[in-house]
Amino acid sequence: MPEQQRILAALDIGATKVRAMVAQIFEDNSVYCLGYGETPAEGIRRGVIVNMDKVTRVIARAVEQAECQANTSVDSLVVGIAGDHIRSINSQGAINVSRSDNEILQADVERATEAAQDVAIPPDREIIHVIPQDYCVDGQCGIRNPIGMTGSRLEVETHIVTCAAATAKNIFRALERCDLGLGGFALESYAAARSVITEVEEDLGVVALDIGGEASEISVFKNGFIRYSACIPMGGQNITNDIAIGLRTSVEEAERLKLEYGAAMTSQVRTHEMMEVSAVGGRPARNISRAVLATIIEARAEEILSLVSRELKRVDLNRDLSAGVTLIGAGSRLPGIVDLAEQTLNLPAKVGRPSGVENLPDEVNGPECATVLGLILYASEKGITTQEGGGGLRGAMKKMETWFTGHF
Ligand SMILES: Nc1ncnc2c1ncn2[C@@H]1O[C@H](COP(=O)(O)OP(=O)(O)OP(=O)(O)O)[C@@H](O)[C@H]1O
Ligand SMILES: [Mg+2]
């Protein structure tokens, strides 16, 4: 296939929405969105498949929408993985440089990274990423890229991200049932950062916080590398449930009120502003102050942000984050959430605005699309192709086999 026709596809299986994108990569590495599909999620809880039939259906629908808009079909997709089954550890690898003149080659870097993976990973876990964080050459550390340098001993500090093998396998099976292959997995928040966080911010120190439906995912970057990732099992749906209980209404009505009148800081809402709330069980609708709604939202939003703050403190990563926190996920659309985040985390905060992919329709350039866009950028960076010109599905199956060889 000619280079200018390289096609990529990505899939973000969220708790509330499944999002798919087909993009084209040009020779100059620019990325162009060809098609986007989005469908309400079903059959998935906290990143784990709980109903295979439903998940298969919604994945197929989202991918077909994207393919239809792109006017092309794809054989495989790069898929985001997230949830509280994700674990990360930091591990070191060290090797003796192979060349007699001590020049460090790509192969040495690969061997050092491989040595770092020599840690006990339980059989029910799958490695998703081994991300180099820092290189030391003959004891001198803080090196970003040692290739071409001279030294006899190369050490690498890596960040190893693993997921539950069963979850990975179930996602793989769901794709298989849609006649789609797996182009690779990527940790959602790690991939998402590519679309909303600049290299300068990664250097200075930044937290990407994805406030989704059922979870809030944290990734911390510093000195150019990811340092830590974690998942707080609470998101926008918890806020909606609190509203439903607090205002004694249905979950659907609570969601509508949140989207229409919601705010995360009570102090920013005028108490005399009223809204009509429909009741359940045939009781009449009532007029309730927006401030009451904001009080309910603020309590849960503050709890989520406090848990983020506690997690950052626990791993000693709450200081020296000069670039602050970048909020993504649809939960970051809540008015007042930026101020509440600044106050609770004691860091400058903003909502992430995705960039790096051209030709984005208006509905695809908000913070909720950071993950699917980041997955496309990740795939582009890694040189992954998800359309096998002529090879068709057989090529994709081969790729899947390669990925899973030896694991299942
Ligand atoms: N304008 C808005 N204001 C406040 N909250 C919003 C808004 N739009 C969507 N949400 C909330 O965002 C949440 C969904 O976020 P998102 O679409 O990023 O999640 P997801 O990717 O499906 O889930 P997850 O990332 O947890 O797997 C829902 O709880 C929804 O109510
Ligand atoms: Mg999400």
CATH number of the domain encompassing residue 119: 3.30.1490.110
Q: Is there an atom of ligand 1 within 6 Å of 183 CB?
A: no
Indicate the residue among 317, 335, 351 that finishes a domain: 351
- Domain hosting 51: range is 3-84+166-196+353-404
Mean pLDDT, residues 9-13 taken together: 97
Nearest-atom number in ligand 1 for the CA of 44 is 27
Q: Are residues 262 and 325 in the same domain?
A: yes
Ligand 2 centroid to Cα of residue 348, in Å, is: 22
Q: pLDDT value at position 389?
A: 55
**99-158 pLDDT, tens digit each:** 999 999 999 999 999 999 988 889 999 999 999 988 999 999 989 899 999 999 999 999
Q: Would you place residue 398 in the very low, low, confident or very high pLDDT band (cuts 50, 70, 90)?
A: very low
Q: Specify the amino acid at residue 305.
A: L
Ligand 1 centroid to Cα of residue 70, in Å, is: 25
Q: How many residues does the chain have?
A: 408
Say which ligand is closest to the CA of 238.
Answer: 1
Ligand 1 centroid to Cα of residue 216, in Å, is: 10
Indicate if the pLDDT at residue 337 is higher than 50: yes
Q: pLDDT value at position 399?
A: 47
Ligand 1 pocket mutation pick from 209, 217, 231, 258 by most atoms within 8 angstroms of CB:
258
Biggest alpha carbon–alpha carbon distance for the chain: 85
Q: Are residues 57 and 67 in the same domain?
A: yes
Say which ligand is closest to the CA of 329.
Answer: 1
Q: Are residues 180 and 306 in the same domain?
A: no
Cβ contact 160:229 at 8 Å: no
Distance CA 188, CA 213 (A): 14
Ligand 2 centroid to Cα of residue 273, in Å, is: 32
Residue of the nearest CA to atom 31 in ligand 1?
236
Q: pLDDT value at position 394?
A: 36
Greater confidence, 100 or 394? 100
Q: Are residues 311 and 263 in the same domain?
A: yes
Q: Which of 254-258, 285-289, 315-319, 367-371 has the lowest mean pLDDT?
A: 315-319
Q: Are residues 77 and 15 in the same domain?
A: yes
Residue 362 is assigned to a structural domain of this protein: yes
Residue 98 is assigned to a structural domain of this protein: yes
User: Is this model's pTM higher than 0.85 or not?
Assistant: yes
Indicate if the pLDDT at residue 1 is higher than 80: no
Per the structure, the count of domains in the chain is: 3
Q: Are residues 43 and 173 in the same domain?
A: yes
Tell me which residue has tokens 């809030």: 216
Report the SS3 class of residue 302. helix
Ligand 2 centroid to Cα of residue 175, in Å, is: 18
Q: pLDDT value at position 149?
A: 96
Q: Would you place residue 408 in the very low, low, confident or very high pLDDT band (cuts 50, 70, 90)?
A: very low
Report the SS3 class of residue 86. coil
Report the SS3 class of residue 43. coil
Q: Would you place residue 370 in the very low, low, confident or very high pLDDT band (cuts 50, 70, 90)?
A: very high
Mean pLDDT, residues 187-213 taken together: 96
Say which ligand is closest to the CA of 331.
Answer: 1
Nearest-atom number in ligand 1 for the CA of 239 is 29
Tell me which residue has tokens 């919601």: 262
Q: Over the chain, what is the mean pLDDT?
A: 91
List the CATH number of the domain containing 308: 3.30.420.40
Ligand 1 pocket mutation pick from 21, 234, 368, 375 by most atoms within 8 angstroms of CB:
368
Nearest-atom number in ligand 1 for the CA of 41 is 22
Residue 209 is assigned to a structural domain of this protein: no
Q: pLDDT value at position 396?
A: 43
Distance CA 408, CA 397 (A): 15
Q: Would you place residue 208 in the very low, low, confident or very high pLDDT band (cuts 50, 70, 90)?
A: very high
Q: Is there an atom of ligand 1 within 6 Å of 212 CB?
A: yes
Indicate if the pLDDT at residue 197 is higher than 80: yes
Q: Is there an atom of ligand 1 within 6 Å of 16 CB?
A: yes
Q: Are residues 240 and 302 in the same domain?
A: yes
Distance CA 134, CA 222 (A): 11
**288-312 pLDDT, tens digit each:** 999 999 999 999 999 999 999 999 9
Report the SS3 class of residue 325. strand
Q: pLDDT value at position 319?
A: 85
Ligand 2 centroid to Cα of residue 48, in Å, is: 13
Indicate if the pLDDT at residue 56 is higher than 70: yes
- Residue 314 burial (CB count, 10 A): 11
Indicate if the pLDDT at residue 339 is higher than 50: yes
Q: Would you place residue 359 in the very low, low, confident or very high pLDDT band (cuts 50, 70, 90)?
A: very high
Q: pLDDT value at position 403?
A: 52
Q: Would you place residue 388 in the very low, low, confident or very high pLDDT band (cuts 50, 70, 90)?
A: low
Residue 205 is assigned to a structural domain of this protein: no
Q: Is there an atom of ligand 1 within 6 Å of 255 CB?
A: yes
Q: pLDDT value at position 318?
A: 83
